Homo-oligomer: A and B are copies of this chain.
Amino acid sequence: MRRSLSLLFLALNAAAYSQQKGTENLVQYVKPIIGTQRMGHTYPGATAPFGMVQLSPDTDTIPYEMNGKYNGDVYKYCAGYQYDDKTIVGFSHTHFSGTGHSDLGDFLIIPTVGDLQLNPGTAENPTSGYRSPFSHNNETAEAGYYKVKLDRYNIEAELTATTRVGLHQYTFPKSDNAHIILDLMAGIYNYDDKNVWTFMRVENDTLVTGYRQTNGWGRTRTVYFAMSFSKPIAEYGNKNFDKKQAYHGFWGKFDQSKNFPEIAGKQFRAYFNFKTTEGEKIKIKFALSPVSTANALMNMRAEIPGWDFEKVKSDVQNAWQNELQKITIQSQSKEEKENFYTSMYHAFINPITYMDVDGSYKGIDQNVHKADGFTNYTVFSLWDTYRALHPFFNLIQPKRNADMVQSMLAHYDQSAEHMLPVWSHYANENWCMSGYHSVSVLADAIVKDNATFDANRALNACITTSGFRRFDGLGYYIDKGYVPCDKTGTSVSTTLEYAYDDWCIAQAAKKLGNTKVYDEYMKRSENYRNVFDPSIGYMRPRYSDGKFREKFDVLSTNDQGFIEGNAWNFSFFVPHDPASLITMMGGKKRFVQHLDSLFTMELPDKYFAETEDITRDGIIGNYVHGNEPAHHVAYLYNWTDQPWKTQERVRMILKKQYRSTPDGLGGNDDCGQMSAWYIFTTLGFYPVAPGSDQYAIGSPAIDGAVLHLENGKTFTIEVNNQSDKNVYVKKVLLNGQQLNRLYITHSEIMNGGKISFYMSDKHGK
C-alpha cells in the first residue's frame, strides 16, 4: 500500500515540481508510435514508468508455426502491433518493448456489438471474427494513454494504466447486444501448446479473476488477474476450444458454457454481455499479479480505487513528466525533442516492476517471496542493456538501478544453477544470448558508488556465476582461455564477452579491495587475445587443439563463431582495453584504417540477408547499429590520433538511425538499449566500458541539457555553436577548466557542475 501511495505522491509531486520549476510539458514530445513500423518492435499502448502492465493494441495474432514449420512472419509481431496493419484484434496487457523475441500478450480484450463472435478472424477477412479495422487518423498514442476508434463497431477505445492496473474505457453506440470479449487463448508468439492452463472465476456481477499459465519463451510462466467492470454483467459465458476435454466426473450436471462462474482449461474464450445506450462508457480495471488473484485484486484496489479515467490518465502522465524532466534539453528542433523524450520514454519502460503492492513476487524457484527494502524488477535483457541502459540508470535512475541489482541478486539466490540472470523474466531464465553480463551491471554500480546493496555479496555472486563450468562453454574457457569452436557455435563472441565480463569482476574486486580476485580476473580478462589470429588481424574461431579454423568468412554472421555480428564487428570487442586491442591490431594508424573501412565499405548483398534483427537502414557500411556488439565501436577513435572521427561518426549514426516517425528506429529497441545509446550520444558522452567510471566524449547533438540528479545536484551541459554541420568538438571546459582528456568521470557528473562544449564545423587535432 505504502508503495502505491508513494507512486501517487511522486506523480503529484511531479506536477507540482513541473509547475514550480516552470518546466515545459515534456510528455507532449513522447511519441510511442516511433518504432512500431518495421523492426523497432515497440508498442504504442499505455504503460506507467517501469510498469507491470503494458496495455496495448495487437494488430495480429500470428501462430508460431504454420503447417508444422516456423512461421517467419511471427518475428514482426514481437510487440503485437505493426503500423502497416489495418485491423486491431484487441488490447492485451503485457508486451515487451523492442525485443527480438517475444512471449506475453496476456489477456486480450475487445469490445464488440452485434452477433457474438469468439474467434479473432483474419486480417484479410475481419468479419470472419471479432477483430475490427481501424485508421491511424482515429488513433492517439501518448505516454500512458492510447485511443483508437474500432471502425467496425463504432466503439471508441481508450486505455491508460497505473503500475499494476490497466484501465479501459469503451464508448459504445446504443446496442442491446454489446459484448466485452476476454480471449484467454490469445498471445504473442503463440502456438498450440503454449497455454498450459487458464482459469477464470466470475466472482460477482462486476468482478472476474483468473490466471494464464504458459510454456513459452519463459518456460513456466503464470500471470494472475483481477478484472472489474464499471457496469454489472447482464450475462456471460465461454467457448472451450480444447481439442479434447479430460474426464471430469459429473461436471455434466451444469451447462458450463453459460453463466457458470468457474471455468478452466487450456483453450477458451470468454464473453460478457451488456446493453448499452448511445455514448455509454463501460470501463474495465484490469490488474495483474505474479502471485495470485487475491493479490491482483489487492493491486487493483490500491492503485485505482475509483472509476475516474481522466484522473488515472493525468496521474500516469504526471508520473511520466516526473521521469522525463530528469533531463531537460535545449533544442530548436521539435523532432530532436521527440527523439530525445521518446528515447527517454523507451528507456524507462524496462525492466518492469515485478511485485505486488505488498512486495510479493514469484521467484525463479517458483516460490512466493517478498522484496525486502527494494522494488523487485524483471525483464532483464542483459546482453543488450548492460551496455548503455544500466549505465544510464546509474546516472539518472540510481535508486532504481540499485534495486535492479537487488532483484538480480534475489534471482541469483533463488536460482537452481546459482547464476545471476542472463535473460530473465517473470520467474524464468530464458538463457537467451551469451555471456554473463549481469556482472557488468553489478560492477558498474559498485565502481560508480551506487552499491546500496551488499557489494561483497554481489561480488561473490559474480564469482560463482563466472564459475558455472557447464554454462555455454565456460568450463573450456576456464581451462583453455577460450571457448573452442568445436564445442559451441558462438565460440569467439562468447570468449570475447566472457573476457570483458571478467574485467568487470576485476574492477568490482578492486573497488572492494580484494586484490586476489582482482588479479585472477584481470588475467582472465586478457583471454580475448586467445581468439585473435595475428596472421589475418581478426578474431577467429579456434579448435580445442589450438588451431584456428580454416574455413572462415570475416563478413558472414552465420556459423562463423559469433552471435549477431561478424568477425569484422566483433574484432573490435575489447571495450575494456582498447589500447591493447589497437596494439594487437597493428597500431593506431592501421586501426583507424580498419575502423574507417567498417563504416565505409560496401557490404556485398548476400550478407544483408543474414542480419536478422535489422532493416537495411540499420547498416552503415559494415557497421550494424541495429545489433548491439558494435555500439561502442564509433567511440574507439578516441583511443587513436583521430578522435574527431568519433564525433563525425556518432552524429551520422544519430541522423541515420533515429527518426521521429513510426519507422524511425533502425532495429529493435531492445528494451531501451538503442534509446540509451541515443541519449548518451546526444548528450555528448558514452560509457564504452561499463565497469569503468569513464565516459568517452563524443559530440553533443543538442544545444544544451541539464541533468537533475537524484542526489539533488544538477549537471549542466552547455553546448556552444552546435549544428548539423558543427559536429566537431573544438574545446571542452569542465566547471570552467579546460578538459585535456577525452573522457569525463562518473563522479564529475554526480558532484554537479557544468561541462561546456565548443563546437565547430572543422575538426581539430
Contact = CB atoms under 8 A, between A and B. Distances in A.
A294 B367 contact: yes
Contacts of A194: 246
A219 B248 contact: yes
A194 B202 CA distance: 25
Nearest to A261: B416
A251 B292 contact: no
Max chain B Cβ within 10 angstroms of own Cβ: one of A249, A251, A430: A249
Interface stretch (A208-216, A270-278, A752-760): A208-216
A262 interface: yes
**Chain A interface, DSSP helix/strand/loop, else mixed:** loop
B430 A470 contact: no
Contact of A366 (B220, B248, B293): B293
Contacts of A293: 365-367
Interface string A240-262: 00001011111101110001111
A393 interface: no
A164 interface: no
Contacts of A358: none
Contacts of A217: 247-249
Contacts of A259: 470
Nearest to A255: B470
A367 B210 CA distance: 10
Identical copies of this chain, number:
2
A709 interface: no
Given A292-B367, A292-B368, A293-B365, A249 B417 contact: no
Interface string A17-37: 000000000000000000000
A747 B644 CA distance: 101
Contacts of A264: 215, 219-220
Contacts of A251: 219, 431
Interface string A188-214: 010101101101011100000101010
A483 to B, nearest CB: 11
Given A249-B430, A261-B416, A366-B292, A197 B199 contact: no
A101 interface: yes
B416 A203 contact: yes
Nearest to A473: B253
Interface string A256-297: 000111101110000000000000000000000000111000
Interface in A93-122: 101
Given A197-B215, A246-B216, A368-B292, A262 B416 contact: yes
A460 interface: no
A245 to B, nearest CB: 9
Contact of A101 (B249, B253, B265): B249
B367 A247 contact: no
B246 A193 contact: yes
Given A220-B264, A366-B199, A431 B471 contact: no
Contacts of A220: 197, 199, 264
B249 A64 contact: no
A472 interface: yes
Nearest to A292: B367
Contact of A250 (B191, B246, B368, B432): B432
A103 to B, nearest CB: 9
A201 B260 CA distance: 37
A488 interface: yes
Contact of A431 (B199, B211, B249, B367): B249
Nearest to A74: B247
A734 interface: no
Contacts of A431: 248-251, 253-254
Interface in A409-441: 416-417, 423, 429-433
A246 B470 CA distance: 23
B470 A417 contact: no
Contacts of A244: 193
Contacts of A215: 197, 246, 264-265
A371 to B, nearest CB: 16
Contacts of A417: 261-262
A48 B265 CA distance: 34
A197 B417 CA distance: 21
B366 A253 contact: no
A259 B430 CA distance: 18
A196 B193 contact: no
A235 to B, nearest CB: 12
Interface in A281-317: 292-294
A196 B191 CA distance: 16
A294 B369 CA distance: 10
Interface string A739-760: 0000000000000000000000
Nearest to A362: B292
A250 B191 CA distance: 18
A220 B264 CA distance: 7
A260 B249 CA distance: 38
A454 B418 CA distance: 49
Most chain-B Cβ atoms within 10 A of its Cβ — which of A262, A292, A368? Answer: A262
Interface in A68-82: none
Contact of A247 (B191, B202, B249, B433): B191
A294 B247 CA distance: 31
Nearest to A101: B249
A187 B670 CA distance: 44
Contacts of A429: 262
Nearest to A68: B244
Contacts of A255: 470
Interface in A330-387: 365-368
Given A64-B247, A260-B470, 8 more contacts: A101-B249, A197-B197, A201-B366, A203-B416, A253-B488, A259-B470, A293-B365, A294-B367
8 contacts: A215-B246, A219-B246, A248-B431, A251-B431, A254-B431, A262-B429, A293-B366, A294-B367
Interface of A: 64, 101, 189, 191, 193-194, 196-197, 199, 201-203, 209, 211, 213, 215-217, 219-220, 244, 246-251, 253-255, 259-262, 264-266, 292-294, 365-368, 416-417, 423, 429-433, 470-472, 488
User: Closest 10 interchain pairs by CB?
Assistant: A261-B416, A262-B416, A294-B367, A253-B472, A201-B416, A249-B432, A250-B431, A249-B430, A250-B432, A220-B264
